[in-house]
Every structure is written in structure tokens, then in C-alpha cells.
Amino acid sequence: MSTGKARVLDGVSIAATIKSEVAAELAAMRRAGVTPGLAVVLVGDVAASQIYVRSKVKACGELGIYSDMMVRSATTTTEELVEIVAGLNARAEIDGILVQLPLPKHVDTRKVLDAIDPAKDVDGLHPMNVGCLQTGRPALAPCTPAGIIEMLKRERIPISGQHAVVVGRSDLAGKPAAILLLAENATVTICHSKTRDLGAVTRTADILVAAIGIPGFITAEMVKPGAVLVDVGINRISERAEFEKFFARDAEREAGFAKRGYTVIGDMDPRAFEVSGAYTPVPGGVGALTIAMLMSNTVCAAKQRRGAR
């Protein structure tokens, strides 16, 4: 959907580079007798969560990280999950613990996440890691925002002194993205669904991060020409009218939609990419980096826990 003027920030290529770097670190660790381990806890039968977890376990297998996938029914209680986490905290061969979100509504998500040993919190959601990140201390950072920073740096996109606008305030994406951008000396504005005249703010952004979870929410009119657009959203659309709204006359998308009955779109209208200086596509952008950074976080946690080099 781009005119060809904007740079496409290829998350798949960057993720592959990060994974190759992680693989080299893992080879050195194995020579020293250390094999990092990641445990992933999946609760319920949400299709998207199952896909994400399988992708994470597959990446572990490809790189040589030991993985333990723990699947529990949707009726699992908060107390049972806290007990599972306690068991994983005690296992010496497990360096990283990831509880796949979202959890069922009856589960106290914060209580479960708070039970994870901060040293094994590879999702960067424990209050201790959040606090360290906030105050500039070393910490395991949430994978998606960490991936965004890696992408911008590796693509040599200036961050220092730039105005970065983050649309979304989730603990997993929006808030930590803002903190990490601030740590790189960007001037950061956080917006959300209650922000008045949102477009007036987003049009001032040199770097615009969309992480609000609404398909095509950021339109071309909300973007400053030449801005760098980072689209964190991954939304599935299956209604023909909605498809036509965003992808009319896109033959490639049409073929995929006809075959699968759905397509994936980010939080930005693809027409917004046409006025940008650079952008992350969906799919193939930020999402590809999340698993690569999870592998990196797992290796980092293993090194810190075991004193490996």
C-alpha cells in the first residue's frame, strides 16, 4: 500500500539477525555446560494464544533452548496457577517463566504475574522489573517494546531528540515502549482512547507507535508526512465490508482473504504508510521481533542466574 517512498522496516529480517546472535551466545553457553530453559504456561483454549505459544516453543527448539510447555484448562484457579509458578521458580533448569496472556477472567492476573521470580520474568511484567526499567536500572524488559528499540537502532533511525508519540497504555506494550523511548532521549507523549483531539497530537510525532488494539485506528490524516510509523497491533478482520474499507483493490490481500476468510491488520490504516518516511508492516513487522526478544531475554536471564558468559 506504500507509494514506494517510505522505507519498510523488515521485522522478519531483523528478528532473524537477533536469533543468529542468540544462537552464537547459546553455543558458547553450551560449551560451558549451560543450557537455558524456558517454561511457558498456557491456560484455556484461546486459539491466538495457542498459536503464540507454539511459535515460542518452536523458536526454542530451533535455537537449542530447553522448553517446557505447561497447558492447563480454562477452569484453573488463581491459586493453582500461583502454585505452578512457585514450582517453576524452584526448578534450577528453568531460567525464564512466561505466563501467556490473557488469562481467563476469573483469574487474578496480577497475583499470578507477581508470583514469578523477577530473575525469571522474561516478559518483564513483575513490579520489580517494571520499577527497575522505570528508574533506569538493569532489568528484563517486555519483549515487544524491547524489539521496537532494537528495530529502530538497527535501522539507524534517530531516536534522541525526536518526538515520540505512543498511542496505548498497556503494561505489555504502550507504557514500557514509552519508558524505553524516553531512556533513548526521545521526548515522549503517551496517548490513549480518552485523549482529546488525538490527531492533533499524533501529527506532531516524528516516531508514532500504535498499540491500542483497534484495527486501522490511526489514519493517514493523523500522521505527519515523513514520520516513522511503528504498528504494534495484530488484529484479524473477517467481515467483507471491513476488508473493503482497508484493502480495496489490493489483489494480494484479496487472494489471501478469499482463501482464509480473514486477513490481519495492525492498528494503523495501511494508507497511513503512504505518507510515512518508514513503517513496520503487518504482518512482518513488530510481531516478528517479539519472539526473538523473548529468546534473547531467556539467554540474558540464564546468564544472570548462573553466572554464565
Measured CA to CA, the distance from residue 303 to residue 211 in angstroms comes to 31
- Active site residue: 95, 117, 121, 123, which one? 123
Distance of CA 86 to the CA centre of its chain: 25
DSSP letter string, 205-221? -SEEEE-S--TT-B-GG
To the query of whether residue 224 is one of the catalytic residues in this protein, the response is no
> Using an 8 Å Cβ cutoff, are 75 and 38 in contact?
no
- Active site residue: 19, 56, 175, 224, which one? 56
Strand partners, 42: 71
Measured CA to CA, the distance from residue 228 to residue 250 in angstroms comes to 23
Q: Which pairing describes strands 263-265 and 235-237: parallel, antiparallel, or unpaired? A: antiparallel
- Active site residue: 19, 95, 100, 117, which one? 100
> Which backbone phi and psi does 139 adopt, to 5 degrees?
-160, 160
C-alpha cell at 57: 516453543
To the query of whether residue 123 is one of the catalytic residues in this protein, the response is yes
Q: Is the dihedral of CA 115, 120, 121, 126 positive or negative?
A: positive
Residue 77, amino acid:
T
Measured CA to CA, the distance from residue 292 to residue 269 in angstroms comes to 26
DSSP three-state, residue 140? coil
Cis peptide preceding 138, ω within 30 of 0:
no
C-alpha cell at 116: 514469578
DSSP three-state, residue 262? coil
Measured CA to CA, the distance from residue 280 to residue 36 in angstroms comes to 31
Angle at 182 between CA 181 and CA 188, to 5 degrees: 85
Give catalytic residue positions.
56, 100, 123
